[in-house]
Amino acid sequence: MDHDLQDYLKTAVGVARKAGDMVKKAYCVDKSVVTKESYADLVTETDQAVERMIIDSLAEKYPTHKFIGEESVSGGKKCEWTDTPTWIIDPIDGTANFVHSIPYNCVCIGLGINRKIVVGIVYLPITDQMYTAVKGQGAFCNDTRISVSKVSDLKNAVVYTEAGNNRHSDTVLTKIENMKNIVFASHGIRCLGSAAVNMCMVAQGSGDAYVEYGIHIWDVAASGIIVEEAGGVLMDPTGSEMDYLSRGILCASSPSVATSISKIIKPLELERD
C-alpha cells in the first residue's frame, strides 16, 4: 500500500498545534498532579486529556491505524508495535517541567510503518517551536532546515543526559557514575528534563549527543527520526543497533562521538516496553 507521508505530517502537525494550545492553557494555572511508578514520575489531567484528543483526532482520519500512547499504556493498554501504521504519542514529554513551569516540555507524535519511524513531530508550545521530519526529506524547525553539529570527537562535545524519574538507588547511582565519566571525557553535560527536547537540541547542533537509560518508545520515536534526518546517528547505549523498545537511547552528531560515549558508560537492564 502507498502511504502519503506528507499528508500524515500535515494532519499530525495540525493535531500537535491543537494539543499545544491545550498544554499552553494549562501551563499557567495550578495543576493537579498524580504519581505513577515513583514519586518523581508525574502525570496531570492535561497529559491524559491531550493524549485522548490526539488519538481521537488521528483515529477519526485514519481508522485502520494503531496507537501507542504513554497514558494509555499507564492505564493498562498493551504496548503493541506491529507492521500496521502505528502512531506513537507522548502527550507531554517533560511532564515534571510542565508541572514546575519550566518551558522545556513538548508534544511528541511519531508514526511507525513496518516498525520503522517515518514521520516525527516534536512541538514545544510554550516557545512555539515545531520540529518535524519525514523519512528521506530532512529535518526542520519552524520550516527552517536543521542539521547536527560537525563535532566528531567526544572531547569537544556537549552531551545531554538525564537522571530520569526512576528512584531505585542502584539505578540512580549507575546514572551518576555514567554522568561523571562523560563529564571527564567531554566539554560537559546538560539536562533539560525532556528526552525529546534534548534530542531536538542535538538535531539542530545545539550540543552534540544525548544518552539515557530508562526512556520509553513514546519519549524518543518522534525525535529519533528528527535526529536521523538532521544527519545524526541513533544507537542503543551498548553500541548495538537502535531498538525503540529496549528503554535506552544514544544519539549523536557522528558515529565516533556515539561509540566513544558507549565505551565509557555502564549498561542498565530495564524491563522492555
Asked about 21 being catalytic, the answer comes back as: no
Asked about 56 being catalytic, the answer comes back as: no
Q: Does 120 bind ligand IPD (CB under 6 A)?
A: no
Q: Does 95 bind ligand IPD (CB under 6 A)?
A: yes
Q: Which residues contact 224 (CB under 8 A, 6 or more apart)?
A: 110, 117, 120, 199, 234, 242, 244, 249, 251
Q: Residue 208 binds which one of Ca ion, ligand IPD, none, with CB within 5 to 8 A depending on kind?
A: none
Of 90, 208, 212, 229, which is the active-site residue? 90
Identify the residue among 19, 58, 124, 215 touching ligand IPD (CB under 6 A): 215
Q: b or e along 31-53 (b: 16 or more beta carbons within 10 Å of the residue's beta carbon)?
A: beeeeeeeeebbbbebbbbbbee
Supply the DSSP string of 24-91, one letter for each residue: HHHHTS---EEESSSTT-EEEHHHHHHHHHHHHHHHHH-TT-EEEEHHHHHTT------SS-EEEEEE
Asked about 92 being catalytic, the answer comes back as: yes
Q: Residue 181 binds which one of Ca ion, ligand IPD, none, with CB within 5 to 8 A depending on kind?
A: none
CA 20/CA 86 separation, integer angstroms = 21
Q: Residue 193 binds which one of Ca ion, ligand IPD, none, with CB within 5 to 8 A depending on kind?
A: ligand IPD
Identify the residue among 90, 208, 228, 273 touching Ca ion (CB under 5 A): 90
3 state DSSP class of 139: strand
Asked about 37 being catalytic, the answer comes back as: no
Of 11, 44, 95, 161, which is the active-site residue? 95
Q: Report the catalytic residues.
A: 70, 90, 92-93, 95, 219
- Rule CB under 6 A: which residues touch ligand IPD? 70, 90, 93-95, 162, 164-165, 193-195, 212, 214-215, 219
- Rule CB under 5 A: which residues touch Ca ion? 70, 90, 92, 95
